[in-house]
């Protein structure tokens, strides 16, 4: 059932509706609930297809559903509809506003209503899509504070990689941090690239969500076997940043089992027809982030490699 959990009047003849789809079993067993969230960043669209596919498959075999599923496809509807990462007009990153404030302005109010609505879920999955600059293999990022609770859940989600990262005060205003701090275990998935749909990644994650539902006992349908993700901490991750401005063109042929010295790409100078830099892997490892947007400034992130 489509539910509006918050709405705000915009200045000229428009109302902003915050909507979700609540799917419940016909009868019995409504005590467990999972929330699938996406669209906090308006230019990250991979979660859109996940939302669609998840709902489609559940509706097809509704008899297998033994708990409540809340799907929130658009946490930043104005952003999605205007190709804007943040909240348009306010120029704010929505993922820096949580837990929000019911008495605050429109953006803080919406943030507070999101938390209020998700509170009480047994699990929440917040799907992001990298940004328009980088492509990411399906991965989950976990603040090491929450490792014990989240790592076993993350392993159920059929991703390739789990990154346990150091805690940072800046991240305290994210949706995931806020939900985790009110005892809603929340997993942040990053995959694909901004402004695009990468169908195979979306399908991979949908399998993972069904698997998680199965493990929780709220899905009795068949699920496929999930992959074993690689788990690592910060120390093992190599960052490659552009050492000059130019046009980045990838030369990578594979993401897994990269060898030290393997080509990653080149930075080119189209005006002079010159190669400015040859970028090779500094380590043996797995390429889990790769530059997608070709124009780079000095310092732009080119790749992240997990050392093996």
- Pick from 23, 55, 106, 195 the residue near another protein by CB under 8 A: 106
Token representation of residue 202: 């979306």
User: Does residue number 235 form part of the binding site for another protein (CB under 8 A)?
Assistant: no
For residue 241, the minimal CB distance to another protein (Å) is 6
Report the residue number, 144 or 269, with the smaller CB distance to another protein: 269
CA distances from 140 to 111, 118, 153, 214, 231 (A): 23, 20, 10, 19, 10
What is the number of other CB atoms lying within 10 angstroms of the CB of residue 220? 13
User: Does residue number 91 form part of the binding site for another protein (CB under 8 A)?
Assistant: yes
User: Does residue number 128 form part of the binding site for Zn ion (CB under 5 A)?
Assistant: yes
Supply the DSSP symbol for 281: -
CA distances from 82 to 41, 76, 150 (A): 11, 10, 33
Which range in 20-28, 81-89, 179-187, 258-266 contacts another protein by CB under 8 A? 81-89
User: Does residue number 173 form part of the binding site for another protein (CB under 8 A)?
Assistant: yes
User: Does residue number 214 form part of the binding site for Zn ion (CB under 5 A)?
Assistant: no
- Pick from 239, 259, 261, 274 the residue near another protein by CB under 8 A: 239
- Partner in contact with 55, chosen from another protein, Zn ion, none, beta carbon below 5 to 8 Å by kind: none
DSSP-based three-state secondary structure for 87: strand
Using DSSP bridges, classify how beta strands 186-192 and 123-128 pair: parallel, antiparallel or unpaired. parallel
CA distances from 99 to 36, 58, 172, 178, 259 (A): 18, 30, 9, 6, 43
Number of residues that bind Zn ion (CB under 5 A): 3
Can you give the binding site for Zn ion, defined by CB under 5 A?
A: 41, 44, 128
Can you give the binding site for another protein, defined by CB under 8 A?
A: 8-13, 85-86, 89, 91-92, 96, 104-106, 109, 131, 133, 169-173, 239, 241, 244-247, 269, 271, 295, 297-301
């Amino acid at each position: 059932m489509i539910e509006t959990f918050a709405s705000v009047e915009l200045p000229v003849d428009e109302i902003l509706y915050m909507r979700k789809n609540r799917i419940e079993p016909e009868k019995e067993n409504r005590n467990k609930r999972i929330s699938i969230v996406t669209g906090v960043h308006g230019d990250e669209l991979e979660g859109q297809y996940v939302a669609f596919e998840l709902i489609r498959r559940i509706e097809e075999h509704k008899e297998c559903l033994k708990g409540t599923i809340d799907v929130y496809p658009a946490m930043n509807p104005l952003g999605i509809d205007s190709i804007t990462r943040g909240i348009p007009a306010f120029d704010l990153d929505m993922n820096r506003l949580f837990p929000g404030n019911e008495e605050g302005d429109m953006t803080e109010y919406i943030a507070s209503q999101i938390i209020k609505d998700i509170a009480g879920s047994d699990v929440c999955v917040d799907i992001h899509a990298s940004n328009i600059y980088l492509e990411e293999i399906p991965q989950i990022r976990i603040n090491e504070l929450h490792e014990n609770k989240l790592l076993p859940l993350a392993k159920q989600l059929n991703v390739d990689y789990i990154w346990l990262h150091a805690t940072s005060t800046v991240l305290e205003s994210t949706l995931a941090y806020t939900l985790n701090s009110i005892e809603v275990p929340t997993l942040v998935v990053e995959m694909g690239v901004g402004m695009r749909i990468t169908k195979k990644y979306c399908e991979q994650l949908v399998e993972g969500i069904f698997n998680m539902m199965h493990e929780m006992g709220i899905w009795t349908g068949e699920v496929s076997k999930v992959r074993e993700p690689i788990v690592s901490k910060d120390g093992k991750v190599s960052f490659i940043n552009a050492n000059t401005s130019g046009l980045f063109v990838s030369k990578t042929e594979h993401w897994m089992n990269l060898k030290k010295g393997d080509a990653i790409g080149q930075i080119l100078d189209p005006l002079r027809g010159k190669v400015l830099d040859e970028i090779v892997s500094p380590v043996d490892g797995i390429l889990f982030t790769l530059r997608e947007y070709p124009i780079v400034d000095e310092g732009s992130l080119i790749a992240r490699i997990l050392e093996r």
